[in-house]
Amino acid sequence: MEVLSPSTRSKDLLLKRGLNEDSGVESYWIVDPDEVSVTVLELVGDGTRRPGTRGDEVLGLDRPFPVRLCARAALGGGVCGGRSTGG
């Protein structure tokens, strides 16, 4: 899991993402406090699947473990009740 910060944003989004994919990291989460979003990168087959959630949307994931999350609640902004996305 990577939490973006202004001073390392570019490095976190580009360099670290590439390093994780090249190393075979199967699930990599990018938390963006400024955008109130969580992007999940999952290696599947020969590509990357990129589910994500913004604000009070609820995202359901099966990998790396079953979880339902919402960016606003994950970032301490309250209870979520928005539309559901993902598995």
What is the reported pLDDT for 50?
Answer: 73
- The pairing of strands 37-44 and 27-32 is antiparallel
Mean pLDDT of 73-84: 69
Sheet holding 58-61, edge to edge: 67-69, 58-61, 84-86
Render pLDDT for 12-26 as a digit per residue (tens, 0 to 9): 888 888 888 888 888
Reported as a pLDDT band with limits 50, 70 and 90, residue 67 is confident
Render pLDDT for 25-66 as a digit per residue (tens, 0 to 9): 888 888 888 888 888 888 877 766 776 667 778 888 887 788
What is the reported pLDDT for 84?
Answer: 46
pTM of the predicted model as reported, rounded to 2 decimal places: 0.72
Which two three-digit tokens encode residue 32? Answer: 């963006």
What is the reported pLDDT for 81?
Answer: 66
Contacts of 74 (CB under 8 A, 6+ apart): 31, 38
Domains in the chain, please, with CATH?
Answer: 2-86 (3.90.1570.10)
Residue with tokens 């580009």: 14
